[in-house]
Structure 1
């Protein structure tokens, strides 16, 4: 071999192994979700593959998909519907039962929302505004959107579950508005069913609000605006958190989709308080906002998302008409993984096989268990249970009489 040939080969090898340095701090996901992330964003996977310092190489070469992607094969999806129960009386076939469950309570719900996405206000140039929504305005997202909060300074009553926060033109952008489509989709008008009460007031603006300096405040980071259910109740409030997580998937179009360096605005003027408020740390690393934050100002959002809501018709999960005989939703599992990971909650193995039963005793006029003592006594007779009685006097609604 000639000397110049040897030098040429060495140079080629040196060029091939030059590392491409990348910043992976934004990829903060449960380990079991990483292969789905990199399959969703092939460019990120390729960057990691060519970077000797990338810590995620073990998650790059497995076919995996969440389940809502157009080319996702069932064997590669995050979850496969599990319906061991009977389907008779609900649908005609076992296959229809599986498909129905997947669409009602799994990633199939996300798939259908993504399919429904339609443009309500179309941009013509890069710096223009844009607005997209799913059917009935259950989920919307916009770019370079203006919201006028100036009238809120004159409102003395607290705002919660109000449908008149915005009036016509208080929300808009510089884009070509499809007014007919906007009116058609504003049909689920209720505080927590859709964004119709707010988005129906969207109008096309004569000027580019950010470029032309029409904003008192410009929000650079992505912002999620949420209308939330009752915060004192874990069932109701986790409707909010689950739908926020599902919305991350509906909105999944950029590698930073799961990044927590964003803002969350709660669509009410009450200062947010909840026993479950730490859960928001799974979705944002910044302080929460509410309608008091920008009262009296015109605010422009470079990227804004109006997530799925807690009480949508046939929504997740307050009004979910879940088909009989099915279980193990992958969407709910992924939501649990996401929250546990970001809150740093680790699994502690049980020291015994006993089932822990905590009975919540409510000494109030309503929602009491009338035969509470008998129920606790009966439970304690089972040697496989460890029974504890706990008292909470905050909620009032119904009385129950359980049979044991």
Structure 2
């Protein structure tokens, strides 16, 4: 079963004065955690009840630490077998570029770009530091004044005027010119510039001066989120929140679930994917209505990386050609699956588990889907299922199906974001990319799973060649339906299945399952 970290938290808290009972990590991540916090590792060594002595002292690191040797970095590392197509001059440069664009090197860049905007002189003072362009910030004893929200209604989303000048600030040495210089990106979901340009140096310590109607003691993550109805877009939020844990990882409480999350809008948060927040917090999700009309002081606050940053992760991320497999995305996948208690299931045979995601929508349907399903059901080496991921299947159940799939099939659409949670050996078959060739191809590259798509357009039919949509002059391939040659479809599924069977980790998993006859933890 999954291991819960810190059954020995009473020892750790005597050293670091924190409560770690809510910190949970996938077993494979525990050595990295201990390496980052040697005091906790020492406590484990000295505590006879600590069950993790075997992993204490392992020379491992995530990849962004200053003294991290690449040979000891996170065990899933990029591979670059393909041509770099002129981006860089050498293979080493190709690897380094991908690592910085899409792996823990991206976290390292945010840390190294961090600069102090508001400097504390004494205990109890405020502080604020941010990465370049104010993409990520964290502060202590920061005041936010939400009295300006009174009378503004409950439809505040993607607004850049939530705060006015002086409605955010702290008692510190404020480097105003430095902050303004980094405020170039002022779009709602690109940076925290729209909010932080209103920062002021307060005449007194806000908490000590009694100006706070509410003081929040627990660490709080304030999030501006993308479209919550779309899995691809909403998981940009969850991924960047996870990456921000690493940018902020100067204290073990970073990985605690006993924190607060405040959504930067007045809409009551709801999403079909909202269970994903359970991997980050055990507390209710707040929105701005919680504090309308109040002055709030946060003892520890984080403004995480945002979903639509220029050259950010993972929305429209420009990736160098020829590389795949990001350790950061791999770790994110494991973090979510572990946090939601999604586990691999018992295998009683070596059949390839094939899942076809059927669209219950107007457009991008496979019109001859029943023929394809009938053909795949005849393949005796497959365990085949057709699913519709809608409100009738809870999201965690969807993840359980996905995580126990070897070949995942679907038309271009947000549901293909499930590929993030496939097992490492899996393949994703985007039946047709609808003239958006890079979106899920790149996401599959980042996750490190095999990607296949339709190869011969002569063997498919687009039923309305002009496309459909509200504006015929702007018709697009995404707004129509398709049929596919059944034999060619089956051939491409077989191509995916062959990849799975050739993977050593798949064979090891099957062998172990057959040997033990019980659930195997990945």
Q: What is the TM-score normalised by the length of structure 2?
A: 0.69
Mapped to 1, the partners of 2:328 and 2:257 lie a distance apart of 19
Q: Secondary structure at the match of 2:133?
A: helix
Mapped to 2, the partners of 1:323 and 1:400 lie a distance apart of 31
Which of residues 86, 90, 93 in structure 2 aligns to 1:89? 86
Mapped to 2, the partners of 1:115 and 1:389 lie a distance apart of 45
| Stretch moving more, 379-388 or 108-117 | 379-388
> How far did residue 42 of structure 1 move?
1.0
Q: Secondary structure at the match of 2:356?
A: strand
Mapped to 2, the partners of 1:318 and 1:100 lie a distance apart of 18
Verify: 1:373 aligned to 2:372, yes or no.
no
Which of residues 217, 237, 241 in structure 2 aligns to 1:240? 237
Verify: 1:65 aligned to 2:61, yes or no.
yes
> How far did residue 375 of structure 1 move?
5.5
Mapped to 2, the partners of 1:325 and 1:380 lie a distance apart of 36
> How far did residue 200 of structure 1 move?
0.8
Mapped to 1, the partners of 2:387 and 2:30 lie a distance apart of 41
Mapped to 2, the partners of 1:88 and 1:391 lie a distance apart of 38
Task: Report the CA distance shift for 1:401/1:148 in structure 2 as closer, same or farther (over 3 A).
Answer: same
> How far did residue 392 of structure 1 move?
6.2
> How far did residue 252 of structure 1 move?
0.5
Q: Is the 8 A contact 1:122 1:131 kept in 2?
A: yes
- Partner residue in 2 for 1:336: 333
Q: Secondary structure at the match of 1:72?
A: coil
1:55-134 maps to which residues of 2 (within 5 A)? 55-78=51-74, 79-134=76-131
- Partner residue in 2 for 1:11: none
Q: Is the 8 A contact 1:150 1:298 kept in 2?
A: yes
Q: Is the 8 A contact 1:227 1:309 kept in 2?
A: yes
Mapped to 1, the partners of 2:239 and 2:337 lie a distance apart of 13
1:141-290 maps to which residues of 2 (within 5 A)? 141-156=138-153, 158-290=155-287
> How far did residue 354 of structure 1 move?
4.1
Task: Report the CA distance shift for 1:390/1:52 in structure 2 as closer, same or farther (over 3 A).
Answer: closer
- Partner residue in 2 for 1:13: none
| Stretch moving more, 382-391 or 190-199 | 382-391
Which of residues 43, 57, 60 in structure 2 aligns to 1:47? 43
Q: Is the 8 A contact 1:148 1:299 kept in 2?
A: yes
Mapped to 1, the partners of 2:25 and 2:353 lie a distance apart of 32
Q: Is the 8 A contact 1:265 1:288 kept in 2?
A: yes
- Partner residue in 2 for 1:138: 135
Q: Secondary structure at the match of 1:381?
A: helix
- Partner residue in 2 for 1:399: 479
Task: Report the CA distance shift for 1:338/1:173 in structure 2 as closer, same or farther (over 3 A).
Answer: same
- Partner residue in 1 for 2:355: 356
Q: Is the 8 A contact 2:85 2:321 kept in 1?
A: no
Q: Is the 8 A contact 1:192 1:309 kept in 2?
A: yes
Q: Is the 8 A contact 1:87 1:325 kept in 2?
A: yes
Q: Is the 8 A contact 1:143 1:304 kept in 2?
A: yes
Task: Report the CA distance shift for 1:243/1:109 in structure 2 as closer, same or farther (over 3 A).
Answer: same
Mapped to 1, the partners of 2:106 and 2:374 lie a distance apart of 41
Task: Report the CA distance shift for 1:157/1:281 in structure 2 as closer, same or farther (over 3 A).
Answer: closer
> How far did residue 151 of structure 1 move?
1.2
Greater helix share, 1 or 2?
Answer: 2
Q: Secondary structure at the match of 1:373?
A: coil
Q: Is the 8 A contact 1:21 1:53 kept in 2?
A: no
Q: What is the TM-score normalised by the length of structure 1?
A: 0.89
Mapped to 1, the partners of 2:100 and 2:29 lie a distance apart of 21
1:167-226 CA deviation, whole Å, 9 max, x = no partner? 001000001111111111111010100001101111100010001111000000000000
> How far did residue 236 of structure 1 move?
0.5
Structure 1: state its 5+ residue gaps: 1-19
Q: Is the 8 A contact 1:360 1:392 kept in 2?
A: no
- Partner residue in 1 for 2:446: none
Higher relative contact order (CA 8 A, sep 6+): 1
Structure 2: state its 5+ residue gaps: 1-9, 14-19, 392-412, 415-468, 471-477, 486-522
- Partner residue in 1 for 2:428: none
Mapped to 2, the partners of 1:276 and 1:44 lie a distance apart of 34
Task: Report the CA distance shift for 1:380/1:324 in structure 2 as closer, same or farther (over 3 A).
Answer: farther
- Partner residue in 2 for 1:7: none
> How far did residue 380 of structure 1 move?
4.6
Q: Is the 8 A contact 1:74 1:80 kept in 2?
A: no
Mapped to 2, the partners of 1:391 and 1:42 lie a distance apart of 43
Q: Is the 8 A contact 2:64 2:107 kept in 1?
A: yes
Task: Report the CA distance shift for 1:22/1:208 in structure 2 as closer, same or farther (over 3 A).
Answer: closer
Q: CA RMSD in A?
A: 2.2
